[in-house]
């Protein structure tokens, strides 16, 4: 089974109109993403059916749909994820909610309510979006609630391409303190840690509940020597082979990502783990 551990709902699903969403991507602090991922503004026009077709074209069986607070109302994004997962349970096996710790709402209670009342199965945290490191104590009640409920937290742990937020907000080193303070918390480090791959590999080696997810990264670059991904190729093929998760983040076509991952110089058994075996275990499917 191939599982995309991180997909996000199209902007049109939680924004008033696509023109507003396109403006956000091309003229706000997010415009660096439009420059980096050519054509990403087209995501504002993408439909859920098109996402499902991309999954089918790539042979992807299931996905985790994650709300992602970067701009806008976190409630709307959670509503969109809930609705899409409910409408397409055959494809979206789990929905993860997002939060905004800068609002007055009690985010721990938000998490508990969404999990208990609407069936969310994880929390997604974008520290750079709030200008907070993941070890900021404002997140700690959320982590405590995740442990209490037995759900994971996915945390952006790689470069961000905004034009006014330091990449340091998502540096993996801050995960170490969180993992030390919450040893029972399952942490999924989104986007593989680049340009601090060595750092993230060390943290995952140290903490058995830390997973490395590779969404929004072209697998061919992960397998290209000298790009900075070498530690993941070495340890992800050996010591950490059970804790790497395939994902696209809806930034790249599924077929391209699956084909490129299949071409990586990894053991065949490891490729199967990366593409879905590890996610199956993490999601409790086996």
Which residue, 143, 31, 115, 129, is CA-closest to 74? 129
Q: Tell me the pLDDT tens digit for each residue of 168-221.
A: 999 999 999 999 999 999 999 999 999 999 999 999 999 999 999 999 999 999
39 pLDDT more than 60: no
pLDDT at 177: 98
The pLDDT > 90 percentage for the chain reads 82
pLDDT at 15: 73
Q: Which residue has the tokens 């599924």?
A: 254
Say which CATH number the domain at 217 has: 3.20.20.140
pLDDT at 60: 98
Tokens of 228: 């900075």
Pairwise CA distance, residues 214 & 270, whole Å: 14
At 12, the pLDDT band (50, 70, 90 cuts) reads confident
Pairwise CA distance, residues 36 & 92, whole Å: 27
pLDDT at 71: 66
At 19, the pLDDT band (50, 70, 90 cuts) reads low
- What's the per-residue H, E or C state across the chain? CCEEEEECCCHHHCCCCHHHHHHHHHHCCCHHHHHHCCCHHHHHCCCHHHHHHHHHHCCCCEEEEECCCCCCCHHHHHHHHHHHHHHCCCCEEEEEEECCCCCCCCHHHHHHHHHHHHCCCEEEECHHHHCCCCCCHHHHHHHHHHHHHCCCEEEECCCCCCCCCCHHHHCCHHHHHHHHHCCCCCEEEEHHHCCCHHHHHHHHHHCCCEEEECCCCCHHHHCCCCCCCHHHHHHCCCCCCCCEECCCCCCCCHHHHHHHHHCCCCCHHHHHHHHHHHHHHHCCCC
284 pLDDT more than 90: yes
Domain assignment of residue 54, given as a range: 3-282
Pairwise CA distance, residues 176 & 180, whole Å: 6
Number of domains in the chain: 1
pLDDT at 18: 53
At 38, the pLDDT band (50, 70, 90 cuts) reads low
Q: Tell me the pLDDT tens digit for each residue of 59-72.
A: 999 999 999 976 67
pLDDT at 26: 56
Q: Are 11 and 73 in contact (CB under 8 A)?
A: no
pTM for the predicted model, two decimal places = 0.92
Pairwise CA distance, residues 16 & 27, whole Å: 17
Residue 274 CB contacts under 8 Å (≥ 6 apart), including other chains = 214, 236, 241, 244, 245, 246, 261, 266
Average pLDDT, the chain: 92
98 pLDDT more than 90: yes
pLDDT at 131: 94
Mean pLDDT of the 242-256 span: 96
C-alpha of 68 from chain center: 9
Pairwise CA distance, residues 272 & 77, whole Å: 31
């Amino acid at each position: 089974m191939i599982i995309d551990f991180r997909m996000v709902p199209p902007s049109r699903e939680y924004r008033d109109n696509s023109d507003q969403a396109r403006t956000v991507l091309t003229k706000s602090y997010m415009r660096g993403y439009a420059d980096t991922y050519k054509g990403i503004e087209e995501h504002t026009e993408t439909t859920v059916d098109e996402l499902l077709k991309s999954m089918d074209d790539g042979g992807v069986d299931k996905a985790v749909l994650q709300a992602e607070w970067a701009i806008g109302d976190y409630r709307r994004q959670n509503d969109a994820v809930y609705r899409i997962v409910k409408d397409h349970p055959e494809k979206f096996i789990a929905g993860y909610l997002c939060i905004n710790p800068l609002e007055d709402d009690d985010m721990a209670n938000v998490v508990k309510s969404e999990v208990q009342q609407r069936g969310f199965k994880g929390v997604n945290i974008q520290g750079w979006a709030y200008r907070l490191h993941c070890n900021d104590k404002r997140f700690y009640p959320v982590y405590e609630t995740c442990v209490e409920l037995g759900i994971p937290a996915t945390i952006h742990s790689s470069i961000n391409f905004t034009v006014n937020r330091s990449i340091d907000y998502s540096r993996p080193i801050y995960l170490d303190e969180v993992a030390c303070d919450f040893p029972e918390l399952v942490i999924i480090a989104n986007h593989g840690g680049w340009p601090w791959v060595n750092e993230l590999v060390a943290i995952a080696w140290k903490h058995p509940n830390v997973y490395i997810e590779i969404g929004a990264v072209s697998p061919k670059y992960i397998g290209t020597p000298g790009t900075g991904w070498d530690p993941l190729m070495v340890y992800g093929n050996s010591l950490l082979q059970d804790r790497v998760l395939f994902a696209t983040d809806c930034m790249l076509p599924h077929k391209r990502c699956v084909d490129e991952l299949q071409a990586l110089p990894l053991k065949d058994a490891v490729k199967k783990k990366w593409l879905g075996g590890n996610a199956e275990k993490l999601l409790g499917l086996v």
